[in-house]
Chain A
Amino acid sequence: MSDTLHIQHGVASHGHSGEPHVHHHKETFISKYIFSMDHKMIAKQFLVTGIIWAIIGGLFSVLFRLQLGFPDQSFPILETFFGRWAEGGKIKPEFYYALTTMHGTVLIFFVLTAGLSGTFANLLIPLQVGARDMASPFMNMLSYWMFFAASIVMLSSLFTQTGPAAGGWTVYPPLSALGLASQGSKSGMDLWIIAMTLFVASQLLGGLNYISTILNMRTKGMSMTRLPLTIWALLFTAILGVLSFPVLLSGLVLLMFDRHLGTSFYLSDIFVAGQALPNEGGSAILYQHLFWFLGHPEVYIIIMPTMGLASEILAINSRKPIFGYMAMIASLMAICVLAFLVWAHHMFVTGMNPFLGSVFVLLTLLIAIPSAIKVFNWITTIWRGNIRFTPGMLFAIGFVSIFISGGLTGIFLGNSTIDIHLHDTMFVIAHFHIVMGVSAFFGMFAGIYHWFPKMFGRYMNNTLGYIHFWVTIVCAYLIFWPMHYQGFAGMPRRYLDKSSWVSFGQFHSLDAMITVVTIIVFAVQLMFVFNYFYSMYKGRRVRTQNPWEATTLEWTTPIHPGHGNWDGEIPEVHRWAYDYGKDGRDFIPQTEPVGENESSH
C-alpha cells in the first residue's frame, strides 16, 4: 500500500476535478518524498523545515543572550564564526538587532505558524475528518513549496553584505522604510518583505485547503459536532489566517512602495542626517494598524492549534471525555472573533487616540473569558482522570500550566494604564514568550510525541522525552519568571547594553543566570531533535493499530497508511470523538454504531 497511489472516488473523496486516474501508480522518490501530494508527507515536510528553522531561531536567541547576560565579556569564538559582525568576540549593535529581529520572525512565522499548523493541519485534518486527502492536493503541495521558497529567501537574507532585516520582527517604518536609516533596513529588509509575501501566499493556499476540506469532505456521519477539537481549532486557525494575512500583505506592499517608489504612505516630516526628506503626509501609525490587524490574529494562529492538540491529548490520556465540548467550541469561536477586534492594544503608547485605546482595552479584556473557560475545561478534564503520563501528556499538562502563567500577565498589559508603565520592558518579553512562545512549543511537542507513531509507525524514546519535558519546563520558568521583575523595575527590552543605568546593576547576576539556563534549554531541544530523527529510523515499532486507545479516525488507518489513508471504504462515523470511560468501557471508537442501551452523553 505504501508505494501505490490509490485514490477512490467515493462520497468523501474527490481531490481532482475529474481527470482520469491511474489507480496503481508506481511512485518515484521525487513524487513520494519531494513533490509529494500526500498530505501526510507534506505534514512531515513542514515539520522538518520547521525544526531546522527552530534550531536557527533558537541559536540566535542563545547568541544575543550571551550579550545580555555577559555584556562585559568577549567570546573570541564568535569572531571565528561571524567575522566582522562580532569583532573582538563582542556582538556588534547591528548584529544584535539583526539577531533579535530574525529570532522573532523565524520563530513566529516560520516555526510556530508554518511549522505548527502546517504540520498538524496537514496531518490531522484528512485523517480525523475521514478524507482520502485534502480538497486540492496540488494546492497543498504548492503551499509547502511557497513556504520553502519563502524560507530560502529569508535564509539568503542572512548572508547579504548588510545583514538581514534588523528593525524588530514588526518592521515598523520609518526605520524599515528608509534604507538610509540603518544597515538592517537595506537589502535585508527587501528580502524580508519578499519572503513574507511568499509566506502569505503559502498560508493562503494552505488555509483555503484546510477550510474547504473540513467543511466539505467530512466522511459520512461526521457532523461538525462530532469533530475532534483539534479540527475545530485548526478550522478557526485557518479562518484567522485567510482573513488577516492579506492585510499584512497590503501593508507590506505599501511599505515596499515607500522604500523604492518614493511614495509617502508611512512617511512624513523625516530628517535623516540633518537632511529633510521630501516625503509628506503619511502616517507611521497606519502601518502599525495594518501590521497588528494581522499581528494580533497571528498570536492566535500560533496558540489555537496547540489548544486543539492539548484538548485531544488531555482527554485521551486521562481516559475521560473532554469537559464541556460545546463550550470549548464556543470559546474557540469567541477567541477567533475577538482576535480580529483587539489589534490596537499593541499600540497604546504610539500616539493612538486614547479614547479608541479604551475601547480596545475593553475588547481585549473580553478575551480573558473564553481563555478562562478553556483552561477550566482542561483542568476539569484531567480532574480525577485515570492519567497516563506519556511524554505527550506531560507536555499537554505543561502547556496548560504555562498558558495560565502567561495569560495572567496579559491582563496587566491589556490595561492601557498599566501598559504605559510596562510597555517595551522585559515584562512584555516575559508575557508573550510564555503565553505564545513556550506554551505553543509545549503544545507542539505534545502533538509530536503523541502523533509520532502515526507519522512514522514508531515511538519516540520515552526517557529522552521525560528528560526533555522536565528540563524544558523548569528552564522556561527560570528564564521568563525573573523577566517580570526586571520589567516592573523598568528595564527596557531591545537594549544592547544597560550598564549605564546604575539601578539595573542589581540584575547583572540574574541576567547571567538566564543566559546560562538558555544555553541548557537549547541543548535539551537539540536532544529532542536527536530523539526525533533517531526514532524515525530506530525507534520502537508500533505493533497495534491504535496504540493510545483513542477514539478518533486516524487510528483506524493502517499503521503505515498509504496515499488515500484507508485501504478499503472510508469508515462511517456514529458518535462524537470523546467516548472515554463510558458505560464501563474504556473507550468506544467513533466508528462503532451507537448501541441500543447506551447512555447518552
Chain B
Amino acid sequence: MEQTVTHNTKWWSGGKSPFNIEYGKIMMWYFLLSDSFTFGAFLISLGTVRFGLNYWPEPSIVFNTFPFAGHANLPLAFVSVMTFVLIISSVTMVLAVHAGHNRDRKGVEKYLLLTIIGGLIFLSCQAWEWTHLLTAKNPVLVGDHIEVMAQRNGFNPWGEIVLPQDVAPALAKTSPETLATLVHEQHLSHASHAELLQTPKDQLIQLLSNSEMVVRKPGPAAFGGFFYGITGFHGFHVSVGVILLIIMLIQTKMGVYDRRGHYLMIEKIGLYWHFVDLVWVFVFLCFYLV
C-alpha cells in the first residue's frame, strides 16, 4: 500500500495512470459501461411496452415448471436455481482472479474450470427453459374455439383467464384433435393420445369441463419477443464468456501468463463475467420478479 501514497497527489498531472490501472482494464470497464446501455435499452424498452399495455402476464404463471417435476406448479423455483448457479460461478471467478494475483497457477486452473462448469450449467438451464416454453401445450381461447399454443416470439398464451361459463361454448367449437391433446396433456384419462382421437367428442368435452383446466385468452405478443430477445442476448454474452474462459484456461495451462509475469488477462475476463452475472440480476428482476 505504500506505493499508492506517492500517487495521492495530482492524479491528473500526466505521466502516470491517474486511476492506477493499466489501460486494458480501463477499456474493459468502459466497454462494460457501454454494454450496460445496450442491456439497459432492451430492458427499458420492455418496460415502455409493458407500461403501454393494460395487461401483462404475471411471471409466476409463466415460469412455474421445473425439470423432471412434470406439471407440478413450482413458480420461480427453476429460475432461482439458475440465478444461484450464476452467483456461484461469479464467486469462483473472484477466486480465480485472486489466485492470479498470487500467481498461483493451479488455483487459477481449478477456479476457472469451476467457473466454466457454472456457465455451462446456466446455459443448459436456459436451453431447457426455452425448449419447455416453446413446446408447451397451453389451452388458449382463439376467436370462438380453443387451441393448443406454445409461447412464441409472436404469440403469448398467457392472457386473461377465460371464465368457466365462456369455456363451455368454446369447447363445443374446438376440433376433436385439440380436445384429445388437451385431455392427454391434462392427464384426465389413462388412454393414449391415439385412443383419445377415437373417443367421441362429447366424452372429451365432458372430461375437460369437469376438470380444473385453466383456459386463457392470448396475451400481449410483445412478451415473447422481449423474453427470447433479452434472455437470448444475455445467453449470447454468457456463451462468449464461456468461450473466453476456455481460452484463458488453455493459455494458463500452457503457461502463457506465467511467462508474461502477470494474470491481468484473467482479471479483465473476470470483469466481463461478473458483468454478465450483473445483467442477469436485472433480467431476473424485470422478467421473473416484477
Q: Do chains A and B touch in the complex (CB under 8 A)?
A: yes
A interface with B by C-beta (< 8 Å)? 11-12, 14, 17-18, 129-130, 135-136, 139, 204, 207-209, 211-213, 215-226, 242-247, 249-251, 253-254, 257, 261-265, 278-283, 286, 289-290, 293, 572-573
A377–B227 Cα distance when bound, in Å, is 51
A136–B49 Cα distance when bound, in Å, is 40
Among A213, A223, A253, the residue within 8 A (CB) of B12 is A223
Asked, given contacts A204-B34, A250-B38, A264-B221, whether A11 binds B15 with beta carbons under 8 Å apart, the answer is yes
Confirm or deny: B26 has a beta carbon within 8 angstroms of a beta carbon on chain A: yes
B153 touches A261 (CB 8 A): yes
B30 touches A211 (CB 8 A): yes
List residues of B (175-227) whose CB comes within 8 Å of A's CBs.
Answer: 220-222, 224-226
Mark contacts of B2-18 with chain A using CB atoms, 8 A cut-off: 1 yes-contact digit, 0 otherwise.
Answer: 00000000101111111
Asked, given contacts A17-B24, A286-B45, whether A281 binds B222 with beta carbons under 8 Å apart, the answer is yes
| Contacting residues, chain A, for B42 (C-beta < 8 A) | 250, 253-254
A222 touches B229 (CB 8 A): no
| Contacting residues, chain A, for B220 (C-beta < 8 A) | 280-281
| Contacting residues, chain B, for A211 (C-beta < 8 A) | 26, 30
A279 touches B15 (CB 8 A): no
Among B31, B153, B221, the residue within 8 A (CB) of A281 is B221
A212–B10 Cα distance when bound, in Å, is 18
Confirm or deny: B282 has a beta carbon within 8 angstroms of a beta carbon on chain A: no
| Number of residues on chain B facing chain A (CB within 8 A) | 47
Among B10, B154, B229, B233, the residue within 8 A (CB) of A279 is B154
List residues of B (79-105) whose CB comes within 8 Å of A's CBs.
Answer: none
A258–B17 Cα distance when bound, in Å, is 45
| Contacting residues, chain A, for B30 (C-beta < 8 A) | 208, 211-212, 242
A216–B24 Cα distance when bound, in Å, is 11
List residues of B (258-272) whose CB comes within 8 Å of A's CBs.
Answer: 260-262, 264-265
A289–B35 Cα distance when bound, in Å, is 18
| Contacting residues, chain B, for A278 (C-beta < 8 A) | 154, 221
| Contacting residues, chain A, for B229 (C-beta < 8 A) | 253-254, 257, 263, 265
A212 touches B12 (CB 8 A): no
A265 touches B15 (CB 8 A): no
Closest to A258 in B: B225
Instruction: Tell me the total A-B contact number using a CB cutoff of 8 A.
Output: 155
B18 touches A264 (CB 8 A): no
A289 touches B37 (CB 8 A): no
A251 touches B49 (CB 8 A): no
Asked, given contacts A283-B52, A286-B49, whether A212 binds B23 with beta carbons under 8 Å apart, the answer is yes
B221 touches A246 (CB 8 A): no
CB-defined A-B contacts under 8 Å, sample of 11:
A136-B24, A220-B13, A257-B153, A262-B153, A264-B225, A278-B221, A279-B221, A281-B53, A286-B49, A289-B48, A290-B45
Asked, given contacts A223-B12, A223-B13, A293-B41, whether A243 binds B34 with beta carbons under 8 Å apart, the answer is yes
| Contacting residues, chain B, for A246 (C-beta < 8 A) | 34-35, 37-38, 41
A257–B221 Cα distance when bound, in Å, is 13
A17–B31 Cα distance when bound, in Å, is 18
- In the A-B complex, the 7 residue pairs with the smallest Cβ-Cβ separation, listed nearest first, are A263-B225, A220-B15, A218-B14, A250-B41, A222-B14, A262-B154, A246-B38
Asked, given contacts A224-B12, A253-B233, whether A243 binds B48 with beta carbons under 8 Å apart, the answer is no
| Contacting residues, chain B, for A222 (C-beta < 8 A) | 13-15
Closest to B49 in A: A283
Q: Could you tell me the distance in whole angstroms from the C-beta of B43 to the nearest C-beta in chain A?
A: 9
A12–B226 Cα distance when bound, in Å, is 46
| Contacting residues, chain B, for A12 (C-beta < 8 A) | 14-15
A215 touches B15 (CB 8 A): no
A290–B37 Cα distance when bound, in Å, is 11
| Contacting residues, chain A, for B45 (C-beta < 8 A) | 250-251, 254, 265, 286, 290
Confirm or deny: B27 has a beta carbon within 8 angstroms of a beta carbon on chain A: yes
A17–B221 Cα distance when bound, in Å, is 49
B222 touches A265 (CB 8 A): yes
B17 touches A216 (CB 8 A): yes
Confirm or deny: B68 has a beta carbon within 8 angstroms of a beta carbon on chain A: no
Asked, given contacts A244-B37, A246-B37, whether A17 binds B26 with beta carbons under 8 Å apart, the answer is no
Q: Could you tell me the distance in whole angstroms from the C-beta of A211 to the nearest C-beta in chain B?
A: 6
Closest to A278 in B: B154
Closest to A11 in B: B15
A222–B16 Cα distance when bound, in Å, is 10
Closest to B152 in A: A262
| Contacting residues, chain A, for B40 (C-beta < 8 A) | 247
Closest to B26 in A: A212
Among A209, A225, A283, the residue within 8 A (CB) of B48 is A283
B26 touches A215 (CB 8 A): yes
B153 touches A136 (CB 8 A): no
| Contacting residues, chain A, for B264 (C-beta < 8 A) | 17
Closest to B20 in A: A216
A257 touches B261 (CB 8 A): no
A222–B261 Cα distance when bound, in Å, is 30
A300–B103 Cα distance when bound, in Å, is 46
Closest to A203 in B: B34
Chain A CB within 10 Å, residue with most, of B42, B262, B264: B42
Closest to B18 in A: A215
Confirm or deny: B33 has a beta carbon within 8 angstroms of a beta carbon on chain A: yes
Closest to B156 in A: A281
Asked, given contacts A204-B31, A246-B38, A263-B225, whether A217 binds B52 with beta carbons under 8 Å apart, the answer is no
A243 touches B33 (CB 8 A): yes
Asked, given contacts A17-B264, A212-B30, A261-B153, whether A220 binds B41 with beta carbons under 8 Å apart, the answer is no
Among A136, A250, A251, the residue within 8 A (CB) of B27 is A136
Closest to B223 in A: A281
Asked, given contacts A204-B31, A204-B34, A281-B222, whether A263 binds B26 with beta carbons under 8 Å apart, the answer is no
